[in-house]
């Protein structure tokens, strides 16, 4: 496959395993476990490793540029790359939809509660800070993947 930008052409090389998983994508390398879950990704100097629990849920993600995230049900513990502090994010649900998040930083006595406004499939499009009333809009593509300006580890855009 060839990518053309203006008059510049670049060869794009892909390789796949017998299950159809992408193993290489130009200079990127991907690895999978026997169940087809991606366990590692390397793109240049950036690496990401994923660890799954016995039920197949993502348990730990370690990214060389973004840091580490431990997924414990409705709670995420995050440590940014190069940081010494850990942030905890707990998501509260009602009727199977996320309705609030509590954000706490280790060593700090302050908590932040964010009210969430999900659409009919659970994708949160709006956050309201319970203390200040500040509104943050989360932009998403049709598949629920966040997009837009980076802010607090998520892709969001302030209104």
Query: Where in the chain are the domains?
Result: 1-65, 67-159
Is the model's pTM score more than 0.75? no
CB-side exposure of 77: number of CA atoms within 13 Å? 8
For residue range 98-128, list pLDDT tens digits in order: 999 999 988 888 889 999 998 888 788 899 9
Token pair, residue 124, equals: 């949160």
Q: What residues contact 20, with CB distance under 8 A and at least 6 apart?
A: none
Strand partners, 2: 11
At residue 144, the pLDDT reads 67
**Over residues 50-60, mean pLDDT:** 94
DSSP state of 122: S
**Over residues 83-103, mean pLDDT:** 92
**Whose structure tokens read 């598949």?**
143
Q: How many helices (H) and strands (E) does the chain have?
A: 0, 20
Dihedral angle sign, alpha carbons of residues 127, 128, 129, 132: positive
**Whose structure tokens read 């990214």?**
63
For residue range 123-158, list pLDDT tens digits in order: 888 999 999 999 998 887 777 677 765 444 443 333
φ and ψ at residue 120, rounded to 5 degrees? -65, -15
**Over residues 71-88, mean pLDDT:** 92
At residue 149, the pLDDT reads 52
At residue 159, the pLDDT reads 34
Token pair, residue 95, equals: 């009727």
**Over residues 58-79, mean pLDDT:** 94
For residue range 15-42, list pLDDT tens digits in order: 999 999 999 988 899 999 999 999 999 9
Distance of CA 103 to the CA centre of its chain: 16
């Amino acid at each position: 496959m060839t990518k053309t930008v203006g008059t510049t052409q670049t060869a794009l090389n892909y390789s796949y395993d017998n299950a159809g998983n992408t193993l290489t994508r130009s200079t990127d390398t991907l690895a999978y476990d026997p169940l087809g879950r991606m366990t590692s990704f390397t793109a240049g100097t950036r690496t990401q490793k994923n660890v799954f629990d016995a039920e197949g849920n993502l348990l730990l993600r370690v990214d060389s540029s973004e840091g580490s995230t431990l997924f414990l049900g409705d709670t995420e513990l995050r440590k940014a790359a190069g940081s010494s502090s850990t942030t905890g994010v707990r998501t509260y649900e009602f009727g199977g939809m996320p309705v609030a998040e509590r954000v706490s930083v280790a060593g700090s006595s302050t908590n932040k509660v964010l009210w969430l406004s999900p659409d009919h499939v659970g994708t949160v499009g709006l956050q309201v800070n319970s203390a200040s009333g500040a509104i943050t809009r989360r932009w998403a593509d049709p598949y629920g993947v966040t997009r837009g300006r980076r802010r607090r580890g998520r892709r969001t855009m302030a209104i």
